[in-house]
Chain A
């Protein structure tokens, strides 16, 4: 664990050093309030906005699988001891989830354009 703590400190220090070196050698102060890049046009509004995430249904399917991962990581440790029943249970579970993916695909979830 001390190794990881050292690593975190060392990496942060490296990034800080990079910023420090750049502050010493760069040409001058930052340019602030620069207009955003819009092909040479002026911005008519702020870009940050309620974004239309058209693939949000995929996130739902993803979330189901992601929860499954919480079970599957520990499952890898015991599968050899428990044997066949562990394999059957886990892959039945996965089969149910994949049936969900299949249904989602038929509903056109993975094509949003």
Chain B
């Protein structure tokens, strides 16, 4: 008996969902299939065994798909779903490929070429940093393990010289707006600088196809997921999926009341991402009350600089930036 094949047939699919700009309706369908079949949504490529790219094909998106695919350990299967109606079949077919032991054994790991981890432009950038960071820098003649240079230093807000990391957020990040990239520079977990990039694609036209309730439920569920309240987020997404079908789901009021009443949630969100007299909490309450509150995406860098990673994630999740960004 081939034990590996036996285990593989029983391996539950764990799906990493990567939404292309404007692919949210497809993402809804994918998330619904994942939830209703008792599969899991992956937080990172390391735990995923199915990569689902959701939404229309857009230029320059393949590089992100390829990097996520490269870092999935295997068993693994990938699928690109462009229509919501195809989601169930495409995912079932991908899951079958993921469980096919012959195919998976043939998918042997090719060691990633050492230099692909860093593209040419990145290297130039690091080199230029090294030039003006002054004397005796370790970059020039030290060997670079894995083909990646060591972190460089920069001025901290307290006047200390500390290591700086570049941590881009999005697009291949769960619970993150589709097609948004925030290039952050962090020291520790504090964001020192942030630059917003909107990926090419028709980001907004899908919104007219569904009622406003769907958007609000999805935004609220995303914020709850980032806040770490998985059960409330799952309920919100179930309600959203019923609203996509055109029904006005019962249970919205009860769920909204439960979310509003949570003291810990208020404690977590109050004061996060303050803009124009509101914060993450008031924006969430606005969605629950039926207002389509939105903050333009251009204010994002100002909101993020000086915050730590957790607060930055909550801030972005509380924005509903698609509404006014306009692509």
A, B co-complexed: yes
Given contacts A37-B46, A40-B172, contact A29 B109 (CB under 8 A): yes
Q: Which residues of B contact A47 (CB under 8 A)?
A: 151, 165
**Chain A proximity mask over B118-155: 1 for CB below 8 Å, otherwise 0:** 11001001100000000000000000011011111100
Q: Which residues of A contact B125 (CB under 8 A)?
A: 44
Verify B71–A34 contact, CB threshold 8 A: yes
Interface residue from B105, B156, B172 paired with A39 (Cβ < 8 Å): B172
**Which residue on chain A has the smallest CB distance to residue B108?**
A28
Interface residue from B67, B156, B163, B188 paired with A42 (Cβ < 8 Å): B67
In whole angstroms, how far apart are the Cα atoms of A46 and B150 in the complex?
Answer: 5
Among the stretches B1-9, B254-262, B319-327, the one at the interface with A is: B1-9
Q: Which residues of A contact B165 (CB under 8 A)?
A: 45, 47, 49
A-B contact count (CB 8 A): 126
**Which residue on chain B has the smallest CB distance to residue A53?**
B188
Verify A46–B149 contact, CB threshold 8 A: yes
Question: Does B166 touch A at the CB level, under 8 Å?
Answer: yes
Verify B105–A28 contact, CB threshold 8 A: yes
Given contacts A24-B3, A27-B4, A29-B109, contact A45 B75 (CB under 8 A): no
Interface of B is mostly: mixed
Question: Does B117 touch A at the CB level, under 8 Å?
Answer: yes
**Chain A proximity mask over B59-72: 1 for CB below 8 Å, otherwise 0:** 00001110110110
Q: Which residues of A contact B92 (CB under 8 A)?
A: none
**Chain B proximity mask over A38-56: 1 for CB below 8 Å, otherwise 0:** 1111111111111111100
Question: Does B73 touch A at the CB level, under 8 Å?
Answer: yes
Verify B163–A37 contact, CB threshold 8 A: no
Verify A52–B190 contact, CB threshold 8 A: yes
Question: Does B234 touch A at the CB level, under 8 Å?
Answer: no
Given contacts A27-B75, A39-B169, contact A44 B118 (CB under 8 A): yes
Verify B111–A39 contact, CB threshold 8 A: no
Most buried by B among A24, A32, A45, A54: A45
Q: How large is the interface on B (under 10, 10 to 19, 20 to 34, 35 or more residues)?
A: 35 or more
Q: Which residues of B contact A31 (CB under 8 A)?
A: 73-74, 109
Verify B64–A40 contact, CB threshold 8 A: yes
Question: Does A85 touch B at the CB level, under 8 Å?
Answer: no
**Which residue on chain A has the smallest CB distance to residue B192?**
A52
Verify A46–B151 contact, CB threshold 8 A: yes
The interface size of chain A toward B, counting residues with CB under 8 Å, comes to 32
Verify B308–A113 contact, CB threshold 8 A: yes
Residues of B180-225 at the interface with A, using a CB-CB cut-off of 8 Å, are: 181, 187-190
Verify A44–B166 contact, CB threshold 8 A: yes
In whole angstroms, how far apart are the Cα atoms of A29 and B110 in the complex?
Answer: 10
Question: Does A33 touch B at the CB level, under 8 Å?
Answer: yes
Question: Does A30 touch B at the CB level, under 8 Å?
Answer: yes
In whole angstroms, how far apart are the Cα atoms of A54 and B217 in the complex?
Answer: 36
**Chain A proximity mask over B232-262: 1 for CB below 8 Å, otherwise 0:** 0000000000000000000000000000000
Verify B109–A25 contact, CB threshold 8 A: no
Chain B: minimal CB distance from A71 (Å): 34
Question: Does B162 touch A at the CB level, under 8 Å?
Answer: yes
Verify B152–A45 contact, CB threshold 8 A: yes
Verify A32–B111 contact, CB threshold 8 A: yes
Chain A: minimal CB distance from B120 (Å): 11
In whole angstroms, how far apart are the Cα atoms of A35 and B112 in the complex?
Answer: 8
**Which residue on chain B has the smallest CB distance to residue A36?**
B71
Verify A45–B126 contact, CB threshold 8 A: yes
Given A25-B4, A44-B122, A54-B190, 12 more pairs with CB closer than 8 A:
A32-B111, A34-B70, A35-B70, A39-B169, A43-B117, A44-B125, A44-B148, A45-B126, A49-B165, A50-B153, A52-B189, A113-B308
Q: A residues near B, CB below 8 A? A: 24-54, 113
